[in-house]
A = this chain, B = another copy of it.
Amino acid sequence: MELFEAIKGRRSCRNFSSEPITEDIIMEIIEAGTWAPSPLNGQPWEFIVIEDNATKEMIYQEAERCRKWGEEASGWKWLGKYRVDFLKSAPVLIAVVGDPAKTGLDAYLDEGGVGYQYACAAAIQNMHLAAHGLGLSSLWFTLYDKKKMREILDIPPEKNPVSIVCIGKPAGEIPAPPRKEVKEKVRFVR
């Protein structure tokens, strides 16, 4: 697929078909992630590929818990109807786990390092594009408590389960959400 076609055509998918994904395809998507840039080339990422239904169910339950918490905390009524079933129906979930020890110079800032998280986010964007380029669809998911996710996925306390990427064949067409005019977002200093 052509690059700009991939960038503009990628959609966030919340309704997957159950069609399985081969290990080759999964590895191709993850490899795309690992080509992202990172502070000092630290490659501060690991990938946990979840295909097991019992583990998906635990992640789903945790997301449901956080959805209810979120509805209460925010007062956003639409969260009451928001379904996270895609965590069970997507054939593959990939947890992207970041290593704060590989964050580069910002490790020395008082507020702590974010560079490793930026690198993981860049890797995730590569993965979304790769999935789309391979005829699949994906979702960037973060609605869970990190401590709880460490327990579910057996992640050591010093690592950060940055996000979960849900991947599968989309069950239907996904319209592009409206975007602001690019010009509204840009200022020139000349």
Contact = CB atoms under 8 A, between A and B. Distances in A.
Contact of A129 (B5, B7, B163): B7
A133 B4 contact: yes
Residue in A7, A55, A133, A186 with the greatest tally of chain B CB atoms within 10 Å: A7
B106 A142 contact: yes
A36 interface: yes
A133 B30 CA distance: 21
A18 interface: no
A185 B45 contact: yes
B70 A31 contact: no
Contact of A143 (B12, B52, B105, B180): B105
A47 B3 contact: no
> Chain A contact residues (Cβ within 8 angstroms of B): what range?
35 or more
Interface in A81-113: 105-108
Contacts of A37: 10, 12, 128, 140
Contacts of A162: 118
Given A6-B3, A105-B143, A121 B129 contact: no
A122 B10 CA distance: 12
A125 B180 CA distance: 19
A104 to B, nearest CB: 8
Contacts of A46: 185-187
Nearest to A5: B3
Given A41-B177, A47-B185, 4 more contacts: A3-B6, A66-B105, A118-B162, A121-B125
